[in-house]
Amino acid sequence: MAEFGTDILIINGEVIWNGDDIATVSGVENVKQQAYLQFLCDRGESEFFPFYGELISFLRGKPFTASQKSQAEEQAREGLMLVGTADGEGWIQEVIDCQVYLSNVEERQVIRLYAKFLPRGVTDAQEFDLEVGDMY
């Protein structure tokens, strides 16, 4: 099985503590977390890591057309394949399904991403569904 590293555990944008220690995440769960963190920022936002982040923020404030949806899904697929590439080959072998859609959350419209993927060296497909930003 591939090595997917270890990182600080973050849930809903909050660092999680285990008593007096910071909790960590590793393995396949770290693949999911790194994808989540990558989709929280726009590509080029970091001056130190210019290729980190995603490009689907272009949807904000624009009509959610079939063409825009298709373009966002293609960019999300490409972004998922970059997860874990800082140290070589990406951690995701295949993106099985990738859908960008709108959802209403507490009277606001948000952009969500559903992805099903196969991490390298793992036989079970993984999936997540996350909010990647407000529509307006």
Q: What is the CATH number of the domain that holds 100?
A: 3.10.450.40
pTM: 0.84
Q: What total number of domains does the chain contain?
A: 1
- Which segments of 14-65 does DSSP mark as H helices, in order? 28-39
Higher pLDDT, 99 or 13: 99
Continuous segment of H or E residues that includes residue 110? strand 108-119
Residue 68: domain span? 6-134
Inside any domain, residue 1 = no
| Region 107-129 average pLDDT | 92
**Which of 9-13, 17-21, 40-44, 77-81 is predicted least confidently?**
40-44
pLDDT at 127: 94
Q: DSSP states of 74-88 as a string?
A: HHHHHHHHTTTGGGS
Inside any domain, residue 122 = yes
